[in-house]
């Protein structure tokens, strides 16, 4: 069978790209001919929109018009040479084909599950609600024509039902993890709590930083970087000083305001004082690490903290569990939350720094508990193999 995987190309190589490449390799291994059809997703234009858009209109809501432009581009693609097509990130599911499988991990999030949050923190663009209405309508029409939607988690399946009123053509697909991680058999120790991932809103590494100030005798590690790394470092400096002075800054301010570069004059004054005092933080920033270094971070972690808001899947948590590490996630963590059995393979806590700190302290003060929960976490991770994942893909293709 000839299969086309339609992939927006964002010029990055992240977790989703790893998943797509693995699916291609596995499908080829069992005899299919597979092409990844890349579409440049970095182009900024309105060339594919079949009605005029002025420069002024475009500049007022660039993200919306780029989405509409790509929507039309995908809808007009000729994919007739393929027996089956698999769409990936939005809005690639706008493609037209009689045998269309949508590998679905998220909507245009700012117009769906993050909409209220971005309005609250002031990140919304002009005419946000109208743009949201249009995108939800055209998405629902396109997704209703898809043969099978493979939702990447129960969280995503619930979102599709909630926002697009679709359930009959929606199944679950849990991606496997890197086989090198899955088969790791090196040494494991229980040292520092860590956070792994990109520093973007609303991943909430800021909550981890604030939690660490409540367990001053423990050193935490932040693995990775992103667009908010500079602000995250400032937040760490500021909170280190604030903790020393017994000053309280609310969680809401830290992760909803400071994380997006919004520091009041009062907070900037505290930051300036903190920079003068050179207080040592109990949080280490590693920056970007290699695959081998990441394995070492996982292997030496006390636990892995996943504080993100409404995550789509939770691959980091499964990776952590495969290293026999308990995972701490928040009750509003989306895909992370559905992986945690509270008190068994990790802790599921309220989304605040105090609750995170309490969970971290429980494990730091009781290494045997961390090890036992790590064993349970390892058993959970065994469910998420590529063998199981590809069984779902293969069964869907031959339907």
Token code pair at residue 160: 């599709």
Task: Identify whether residues 128 and 96 lie together within a single domain.
Answer: yes
Q: Other C-beta atoms within 10 Å of 126: how many?
A: 11
DSSP for 289-348, written as a single string: --HHHHHHHHHHEEEEEE--SSBSS-HHHHHHHHTT--EEEETT-BTTGGG--BTTTEEE
Task: Identify whether residues 241 and 349 lie together within a single domain.
Answer: yes
- Using pLDDT thresholds of 50, 70 and 90, give the confidence band for residue 13: confident
State the average pLDDT over residues 115-132: 93
In what helix (H) or strand (E) does residue 265 lie, and over which residues does it extend? Answer: helix 265-277
Among the residue ranges 232-246, 266-280, 326-340, 350-364, the one predicted with the least confidence is 266-280
Task: Identify whether residues 54 and 196 lie together within a single domain.
Answer: no
Task: Identify whether residues 114 and 27 lie together within a single domain.
Answer: yes
> Mean pLDDT over all residues of the chain?
94
Task: Identify whether residues 392 and 364 lie together within a single domain.
Answer: no
CA pseudo-torsion sign 12, 15, 18, 24: negative
Tell me the C-alpha to C-alpha distance, in Å, between residue 383 and each of 35, 315, 333, 335, 379: 28, 13, 20, 15, 7
Tell me the C-alpha to C-alpha distance, in Å, between residue 175 and each of 45, 120, 279, 381, 394: 33, 33, 43, 12, 13
**Cβ neighbourhood burial of 13 (10 Å; 0-12, 13-18, 19+):** exposed
Q: Are 182 and 135 in contact (CB under 8 A)?
A: no
How far is it, in rounded angstroms, from Cα 240 to Cα 284? Answer: 12
State the average pLDDT over residues 125-152: 95
pLDDT digits (tens, 9 = 90+) for 15-73: 788 889 989 998 999 999 999 999 999 989 999 999 999 999 999 999 999 999 999 99
**Cβ neighbourhood burial of 191 (10 Å; 0-12, 13-18, 19+):** middle
Task: Identify whether residues 193 and 124 lie together within a single domain.
Answer: no
3-state secondary structure of 283: strand
Could you tell me the CATH number of the domain that includes residue 232?
3.40.50.2000
Question: Percentage of the chain with pLDDT > 90?
Answer: 85
Q: What pLDDT was estimated at residue 178?
A: 81
pLDDT digits (tens, 9 = 90+) for 171-196: 999 988 888 887 788 899 999 999 99
pTM recorded for the entire structure = 0.92
- Using pLDDT thresholds of 50, 70 and 90, give the confidence band for residue 100: very high
DSSP letter assigned to residue 191: -
Task: Identify whether residues 109 and 226 lie together within a single domain.
Answer: no
Task: Identify whether residues 152 and 186 lie together within a single domain.
Answer: no
How far is it, in rounded angstroms, from Cα 24 to Cα 2? Answer: 12
Question: Percentage of the chain with pLDDT > 70?
Answer: 100
State the average pLDDT over residues 135-147: 97
pLDDT digits (tens, 9 = 90+) for 316-336: 999 999 999 999 999 999 999
DSSP letter assigned to residue 115: H
Task: Identify whether residues 319 and 277 lie together within a single domain.
Answer: yes
Tell me the C-alpha to C-alpha distance, in Å, between residue 65 and each of 131, 260, 281: 9, 23, 43
- Beta strands across the sheet bearing 301-306: 283-287, 220-223, 192-196, 301-306, 327-330, 346-349
Total tally of structural domains belonging to the chain: 2
Task: Identify whether residues 302 and 347 lie together within a single domain.
Answer: yes
User: Alpha helices, DSSP H only, in 165-256?
Assistant: 179-182, 205-212, 229-244, 251-256
pLDDT digits (tens, 9 = 90+) for 245-263: 999 999 999 999 999 999 9
Domain extent, residue 241, equals: 179-381
Instruction: Specify whether the backbone of 107 is left (phi greater than 0), alpha (psi in -120 to 50) or beta.
Output: beta
Task: Identify whether residues 18 and 95 lie together within a single domain.
Answer: yes
Task: Identify whether residues 89 and 185 lie together within a single domain.
Answer: no
Q: What pLDDT was estimated at residue 372?
A: 98
How far is it, in rounded angstroms, from Cα 288 to Cα 200? Answer: 14
Instruction: Specify whether the backbone of 115 is left (phi greater than 0), alpha (psi in -120 to 50) or beta.
Output: alpha
């Amino acid at each position: 069978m000839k299969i086309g995987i339609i992939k927006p190309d964002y010029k990055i190589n992240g977790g989703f790209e790893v998943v797509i490449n693995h699916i291609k390799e596995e499908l080829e291994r069992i005899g299919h001919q597979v092409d990844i059809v890349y579409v440049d997703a970095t182009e900024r234009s309105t060339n594919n929109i079949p009605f005029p858009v002025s420069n002024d209109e475009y500049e007022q809501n660039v993200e919306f018009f780029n989405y509409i432009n790509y929507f039309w581009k995908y809808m007009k693609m000729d994919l007739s040479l393929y027996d089956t097509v698999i769409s990936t990130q939005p809005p690639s599911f706008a493609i037209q084909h009689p045998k269309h499988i949508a590998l679905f991990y998220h909507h245009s999030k700012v117009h769906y599950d993050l909409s209220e949050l971005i309005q609250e923190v002031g990140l919304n663009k002009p005419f946000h609600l109208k743009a949201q209405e249009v995108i939800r309508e055209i998405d629902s029409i396109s997704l209703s024509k898809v043969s099978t939607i493979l939702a990447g988690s129960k969280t995503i399946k619930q979102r599709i039902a909630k926002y697009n009123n679709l359930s009959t053509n929606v199944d679950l697909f849990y991606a496997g993890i890197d086989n090198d991680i899955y088969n790791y058999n090196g040494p494991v120790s229980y040292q520092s709590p860590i956070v792994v991932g990109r520093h973007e809103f609303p991943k909430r590494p800021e909550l981890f930083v604030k939690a660490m100030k409540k367990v001053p005798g423990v050193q935490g590690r932040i693995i990775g970087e992103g667009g908010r790394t500079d602000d995250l470092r400032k937040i760490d400096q500021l909170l280190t000083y604030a903790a020393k002075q017994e000053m309280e800054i609310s969680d809401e301010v830290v992760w909803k305001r400071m994380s997006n570069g919004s520091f009041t004059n009062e907070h900037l004054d505290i930051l300036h004082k903190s920079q003068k005092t050179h207080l040592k933080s109990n949080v280490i920033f590693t920056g970007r690490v290699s695959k081998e270094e990441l394995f070492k971070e996982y292997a030496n972690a006390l636990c892995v903290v996943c504080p993100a808001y409404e995550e789509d899947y939770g691959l980091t948590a499964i990776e952590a569990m495969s290293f026999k590490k308990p995972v701490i996630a928040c009750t509003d963590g989306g895909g992370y939350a559905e992986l945690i059995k509270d008190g068994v393979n990790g802790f599921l806590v309220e989304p605040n720094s105090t609750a995170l700190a309490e969970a971290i302290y429980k494990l730091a003060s009781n290494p045997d508990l961390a090890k036992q929960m790590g064993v349970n976490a390892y058993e959970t991770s065994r469910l998420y193999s590529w063998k199981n994942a590809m069984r779902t893909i293969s069964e869907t293709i031959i339907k």
